[in-house]
A and B are shown apart, each in its own frame.
Chain A
Amino acid sequence: DAGVIQSPRHEVTEMGQEVTLRCKPISGHNSLFWYRQTMMRGLELLIYFNNNVPIDDSGMPEDRFSAKMPNASFSTLKIQPSEPRDSAVYFCASSPWAQGGYTFGSGTRLTVV
């Protein structure tokens, strides 16, 4: 199994641009999670999906952030427009069921200048 795959690994963009982060969960995992990690705030849950349906998006910081899961093998996290304070490492994780063990991807390091 290739694990949870995230792309790109690094993204540098200018303020105001649209950014799209991508995630492919482990095949057969029904739950998918997006986290953001910063030095100041640690790991924060942004949104999670069960069976492709968003269950809790209370962690999404602003309307500039949106996430989709069009099918069981793909999810995107979009920021439009991006701001320097969005700079962080964004992790995707998947789990076989809502209360199963999580597997994390390697993350996308986003820098907004």
Chain B
Amino acid sequence: KQEVTQIPAALSVPEGENLVLNCSFTDSAIYNLQWFRQDPGKGLTSLLLIQSSQREQTSGRLNASLDKSSGRSTLYIAASQPGDSATYLCAPLLGSSNTGKLIFGQGTTLQVKP
């Protein structure tokens, strides 16, 4: 059974800091891994999708890396802003040739203080 662990569970930092959020998963046979953001009381917004053949993906101030063999992914947030405050969820995708399902970690709740 795939287990996903995110560290830290919560993080509070002053504005402008560079951050690293960690995700580990037990089953390395994944197709891809997706990072999401969830604001309080809202749905999930996809941030980055990394295919299993890729090592990293970048979007603006966000960079996500994937090391499938060790079962790890990191989300790097550069120059954090108060608007980055949210819960960040890591979700590797398990599946076979024609099926797939995302398994979620519990998330890292980030607070960026002005």
Interface residues of A, Cβ cutoff 8 Å to B: 31, 33, 42-43, 45, 48, 50, 55-56, 91, 93, 95, 97-107
Given contacts A43-B89, A43-B104, A45-B103, contact A101 B98 (CB under 8 A): no
The answer to whether B103 and A42 have CB atoms under 8 Å apart is: no
- What string of 1s and 0s marks CB contacts (under 8 Å) between B78-114 and chain A? 0000000000010101010011111111110000000
In the complex, are the beta carbons of B32 and A99 less than 8 A apart? yes
Is A99 a contact of B93 with CB atoms below 8 Å? yes
B99 and A101 form a contact (CB under 8 A): no
Check if A55 sits within 8 Å of B104, measured CB to CB: no
CB <8 Å contact, B89 and A98 = no
B99 and A102 contact, CB distance less than 8 A: no
Give min CB distance, A40 to chain B, whole Å: 10
Residues of A within 8 A of B45 (CB): 104
Contact in complex: B46, A45 (CB < 8 Å)? no
CA distance A11 to B107 in the complex (A): 26
A43 to B93 CA separation, bound complex (whole angstroms): 14
List the A residue with the shortest CB-CB distance to B89.
Answer: A43
12 A–B contacts from the bound complex (CB under 8 Å): A33-B101, A42-B106, A42-B107, A91-B44, A95-B100, A99-B31, A99-B32, A99-B95, A101-B34, A102-B102, A107-B42, A107-B43
* Complex interface bits, B37-57 against A, C-beta within 8 A gives 1, otherwise 0: 000001111100100000000
Name the residue of chain A whose CB is nearest to the CB of B32: A99
Q: How far is it, in angstroms, between the C-alpha of A97 and the C-alpha of B49 when the chains are bound?
A: 14
Residues of B within 8 A of A55 (CB): 99
Decide: A56 near B43, CB < 8 A? Known: A42-B106, A42-B107, A101-B49.
Answer: no
